[in-house]
Amino acid sequence: MEETGVLEGSDNIGYFIEKKLRVWCRQSNGVWVSGTIHSTSGEESFVSLANGNSKAGPILIAVNPFKDVQINGKDIVTTYKQKATDKPHVFAIAENAYNEMMNDGVNQSLMISGESGAGKTETAKFAVQYLAALGGGNVGIECQILQTSCILEAFGNSKTSMNDNSSRFGKFIEIHFTAAGKICGSKIRTFLLEKSRVVQLAAGERSYHIFYQLCAGAPQALRERLNLKMAKEYNYLAQSDCLVINGVDDAQRFLKFMETLDIFQISKGEQDQAFAMLAAVLWLGNISFHAIDYENHVEASNDEALINAARMIGCESHELKEALSARRIQTEEGNIVEKFTMSQAIDTRDALAKFIYASLFDWLVEQINNLLEVGKQHTGWSISILDIYGFESFKKNSFEQFCINYANERLQQHFNRHVFKLEQEEYELDGIDGVKVDFADNQECLDLFEKKPIGLLSLLDEDLHSPDANDATLANKLKQNLNGMACFKGDKGRVFGVRHFAGEVLYNTNDFLKKNQDSLNPELIELLSSCNGQLPQLFAIKMLNQTLEPATSLDSPNQSVSAKFKGKLFKLMQQLEKTKPHFICCIKPNRKQLPGMYEEDLVSQQLRCSGVLEAVRMSRSGYPTRMTHQEFADRYGFLLLETNESPDPLSISVAVLKQFNILPGMYQIGYTKLYLRIGLIGVLEDRRKQVLQTGKYTDEANKGSAFASQLHDGQLTAIIGLQSAIRGCLVRKHFSNSHKLITLRSKRKLVRENSEANDIPNEQSSAMAELQRRVVDAEASLGQKQQENATLQEQLQQYEAKMKKMEEQLQQSEAKMKKTEEQLQQSEAKMKKTEEMLRKQTAPLQASLAAAKKSEGSATAEVGRRENGVSSLVKEFEQQKQSFEDDINKTTQPASNMNSYEELRKLKRRFRAWKKDYKVRLKETTAIVRKHRHQDSDKTRKKWWPNRGKVLQNCGKSPS
């Protein structure tokens, strides 16, 4: 997918012609080539820029298109969620981070880097957008997280010479998830807001967006309440001669900003106070001072600005005038008042304006966090997004650029550690001959900043407490102590240079000490604490509480700005080290921020300085894909055509690689892992997908509906129940005769007293043989049933292979099952009739047996055995009937399908066969009993006693 950009105006074209910059152009045959513009005709020139995303090893390269493109909308979010594309994109990086968090239980982080204007803030917003879509369990939290950027950009972004929407603070967004992967809360941390931008601007730049939005879009009632004027009438805003941004409607954005405040449940009263604080800052900038004596002492003028500023803050105008014009100094003789000079008064005024704005910014972030953390669950799972100011190099670089570039050095080392150092260390520890890649290690530059006691930060803090130190002496001190370090460069006057990873930057020490101290006079804190406004009081209380902190605490006012920033940066790096990083490198394609323009030298420099080129070389020559032996065997072992005799996962892994003719140079085997060249895992994954699509573990089966799963479970339960019924049939028949055996033992005494009974008639022996034969037949029948069970088990396996067809058969099955239920009801009625008939047949037999016992006591034992046979048949019928009824009920459950219908038909056929066999056996048994009823009792007694032991042995009992 490619986007076409249009260059309008001869000035932009001329810039590219003058610089001989390369652009992409489409030839007549549709082929795109890189070239330069030599001449133009007309007012438009067309160039092309791809969608701006690419991969360099493990790093996503995102080029800023400098326009709205259709590659980050909701449709694209859906495309990546459904895995319909695998093109490089920030959505794909966020998807990988989310999956690794859910699968491995390890917190993730998205590290977004790039110089100012490369598009880091927009990329971070896209990442938040996609994560909100993935974990959108709570619509409220999802919406709130997405809307945080509106407030943070209004208060923390501004137009600079390098970027129309430059972040002038760093932010670290933590998005928390439940164990189910749903968003449950979030937290935002901010770093080093550029407070000096509130009061001091370079030519062509703007202060923070919110000031211009307020002046352009405030409703009439709010304007009257704040006595608000246009932006050009405020000194803080008008000093740079830049009040608007091309293509940006500040008034419209202010309306959206107010809607966002409502989303975060900031009340109307709190909103009014916040806008009053903004107006107070603007009016403070218009306060002027006039001399009152010949010693250059001044005091604030009683004009409109002073009155409005005091009213917005919530104090009397004379109180504000006194706080801006003098300060009290405590001496041994008491407090004395020291009047300010012009420079001191201006610095005091600006310090108050910066303090109010920074405190308001912190208060808004606190309100956002209070709401986002309401539903947070302490699962410990999170994905963090770091969006911090990019590397900066202006014509004049001050203390802010000094701190920003130091932070970027620290982040670059984090990148080097995870992309290069840890990679090579892993190769060595696992016995792999990995390729050594030389990369630009920035440790020397970090030592220049952090070394104690002679380092940039240490020397800067040292001069902070020296009464004789100033910006000029600071520059000389740095040159005297650091000239011997490779990354330091001394220059003329107050200028010194640092060789950063992204290039050399010259810094001017003007205002370094003042910005590093950033203190507020006690008189101003006392003034704010006495104001009648809630917010000024909160700001003052917070400052007073910080004065109670230990001097070594990062919140202590005794700590310098650089020391606080360094401490927060170290805490941030410690937290990042506990996460799995995913790197996104944002690239600025041209210096004029124009769509469709590509400056090859600028892009190449960014790629080289950020370490991307080295990462590409390592990815090409290294082994970016790695899996443990067990993981590889588990995932790809089933692809083997022949079963591997060895259970060793390493042997299985090697066998898989050999089967696919993977060359030895494409992989290496470590002590614990397999290391694969780039692209190799794709071949195995493609083959794995093909096998799964044709086998029983297809994607359709894995994604089967809940109903299909219930259907499978129902079939499995029904078959297992049928198997249990058949296997347990004969066992239950045996135990049903237990009470008959007890009766037999009670009658043994009578048998012993009959000494005339010697042996059993031949007919009796034949009867016993016949019964033994039937036992053998029953055992054979049991074996046959077990064989049938095995057949049923095979059928069960076939059912699993046919799961793909179940959804197509469900509709047909529902219609047929209605008919089946009617048939089952008819079958049940027939079974009841059969049961009644069998009971009627059994009743005469039982009566006959009772008569035989009464008349022929000598044949009690044998008749008992016969009666047991009959009763066992009756019991067998009842239990078999119940088993069949259970099987039928299970088969007719809603989970049935066409296969279960066929099984029901087979079940009915087996029932009819069993029923027929049962009737024959019952008839034969009845005949035998009747035949032997009339045998001579005396003869029975004579033949019974000698064979008593043998008979009991056949019955499974030992003689007493």
Cα 325 to Cα 297, 422, 523, distances in angstroms: 9, 58, 10
> What dihedral do alpha carbons 887, 888, 893, 897 form, nearest 10°?
100
Q: What are phi and psi of 88, to 5 degrees?
A: -60, 135
Q: Give one DSSP letter per residue of 868-936, joined into a string.
A: HHHHHHHHHHHHHHHHHHHHHHHHTSTT--HHHHHHHHHHHHHHHHHHHHHHHHHHHHHHHHHHGGGS-
121 assigned to a ligand binding site: yes
547 catalytic, yes or no?
Answer: no
Q: For the chain, state the CA radius of gyration.
A: 45
120 assigned to a ligand binding site: yes
Segment (H or E) for 491: none
Catalytic residue among 390, 434, 622, 864: 390
Catalytic residue among 64, 107, 123, 166: 166
869 catalytic, yes or no?
Answer: no
The dihedral through the CA atoms of 257, 262, 268, 274 has a sign that is negative
960 catalytic, yes or no?
Answer: no
118 assigned to a ligand binding site: yes
121 catalytic, yes or no?
Answer: yes
Segment (H or E) for 583: strand 580-587
How far apart (Å, rounded) are the C-alpha atoms in residues 463 and 422? Answer: 39
Q: What are phi and psi of 511, to 5 degrees?
A: 65, 10
Catalytic residue among 138, 148, 167, 325: 167
At residue 284, what is the residue type? L
558 catalytic, yes or no?
Answer: no
Q: Which residues contact 124 (CB under 8 A, 6 or more apart)?
A: 110, 112, 173, 385, 387
Q: 806: closest CA among 703, 677, 953?
A: 703
Cα 284 to Cα 159, 204, 208, 353, 464, distances in angstroms: 22, 22, 16, 7, 27
Which tokens go with 820? 């089946």
How far apart (Å, rounded) are the C-alpha atoms in residues 256 and 614? Answer: 44
Q: Can you say how many angstroms the Cα of residue 398 is from the centroid of all Cα atoms in its chain?
A: 40
196 assigned to a ligand binding site: no
Degrees, nearest 5: CA angle 335-336-339: 140
Catalytic residue among 5, 57, 117, 285: 117
Straight-line distance from the first to the last Cα atom of the chain, in angstroms, rounded to the nearest whole number? 95
Cα 276 to Cα 7, 270, 664, 690, distances in angstroms: 43, 10, 71, 66
Catalytic residue among 51, 64, 109, 121: 121
Which tokens go with 839? 């009971």
115 assigned to a ligand binding site: yes
Catalytic residue among 163, 308, 348, 892: 163
862 catalytic, yes or no?
Answer: no
Catalytic residue among 64, 72, 116, 207: 116
Residue carrying structure tokens 């921020």: 593
279 assigned to a ligand binding site: no
How far apart (Å, rounded) are the C-alpha atoms in residues 586 and 501? Answer: 16
Let me know how many helices (H) and strands (E) the chain has, helices first.
37, 23
Catalytic residue among 122, 174, 392, 876: 392
Q: 74: closest CA among 4, 132, 153, 140?
A: 132
Strand ordering across the sheet containing 381-387:
53-56, 59-63, 580-587, 108-113, 381-387, 170-177, 183-191
Q: Can you say how many angstroms the Cα of residue 264 is from the centroid of all Cα atoms in its chain?
A: 24
As annotated, the binding site for ATP includes 114-121
As annotated, the binding site includes 114-121
Which active-site residues does the annotation give? 116-117, 121, 163, 166-167, 390, 392
